[in-house]
Amino acid sequence: MSAGVWAVLVAAGRGERLGGKRPKAFANLAGRPLVAESLERLDASPWVEAVVVAAPADWEEPTILLAEELGAGSVRAVVTGGATRTDSVRAGLAEVPADTAAVLVHDAARPFLPDEVVERVVTALGEGWDGAVPALPLADTVKRAEGDVVGETVDRAGLHAVQTPQAFVAEALRRALAGEGEATDCAGLVEAAGGRVRLVEGDRRLLKVTTPGDLAFVETLLAAKR
Ligand code: CTP
Ligand code: MG
């Protein structure tokens, strides 16, 4: 199912929790903009035919230049992202040709993207699912609290932390995003539209860079890899 898979890389967030002068996608990670990691990995993936990047407003040009510098020939469009993640996915999806079979959506905030995970989510689509998402079962005990006061311990059976890249049958994703709906991930909207979404094995290295500490941790992962 490698033919006909387009990736939408959402990189348009401001990175408020990270802080810093630039948007998170352009935060310095081991000497390069954070978005360079996932862009390079999507470009190199045999499962991905073409890539659309949703960039922060006023960062479209630097994003195009970065793609050129990386020699990322599969980048077909750089669009301006929206006010929310879902809007940024909508903007990217608008550039995906109508006859595309499947769409992969990935957070630029997750720089370490193992190709095995791309393979797992794309392969699952070939088995008849509307969507496939990488997930890790929760290992820690889960508590609901108000501030720092514990209200209750939540039964963690069946609970998973869900990551990106998430793969969807293009038509199912378009339908799910057609309204005004908002969700923290695309699968949430596909589920709400009645789509059947499957969990595949996630990867700890796919952690999302949210705080400066996460950035430092991902740098150690990258250093170990090189
Ligand atoms: N994203 C986006 N457009 C938005 C908001 C988020 O493309 N309007 C993207 C981010 O660039 C990121 C992913 O969605 O790759 C996950 O979002 P998150 O980690 O929350 O990033 P930010 O919104 O940038 O960070 P913060 O919430 O701390 O401001
Ligand atoms: Mg955010």
Q: List, chain by chain if needed, residues with CB within 6 Å of any ligand 1 atom.
A: 10-18, 24-25, 54, 81-85, 88, 107-109, 208, 210
| Residue 154 Cα distances to 96, 137, 143, angstroms | 40, 14, 5
The residue to mutate among 24, 90, 210, having the most atoms of ligand 1 within 8 angstroms of its beta carbon, is 24
d(CA 224, CA 17): 26
More confident residue, 225 or 155: 155
Local structure of 100: helix, strand or coil: coil
Residues in contact with 123: Cβ distance below 8 Å, sequence separation at least 6, in sequence order: 1
The tens digit of pLDDT for each residue in 13-51 reads 999 999 999 999 999 999 999 999 999 999 999 999 999
The tens digit of pLDDT for each residue in 92-115 reads 999 999 999 999 999 999 999 999
The tens digit of pLDDT for each residue in 45-97 reads 999 999 999 999 999 999 999 999 999 999 999 999 999 999 999 999 999 99
- Give distance in angstroms: CA of 127 to centre of ligand 1: 30
Instruction: Note the pTM of the prediction, 2 decimals.
Output: 0.96
For CA atoms 170, 63, 205, 143, the dihedral sign is negative
Phi first, then psi: give them for residue 8, nearest 5 degrees.
Answer: -110, 115
d(CA 184, CA 195): 16
Local structure of 71: helix, strand or coil: coil
- Ligand 1: atom nearest CA of 208 is 19
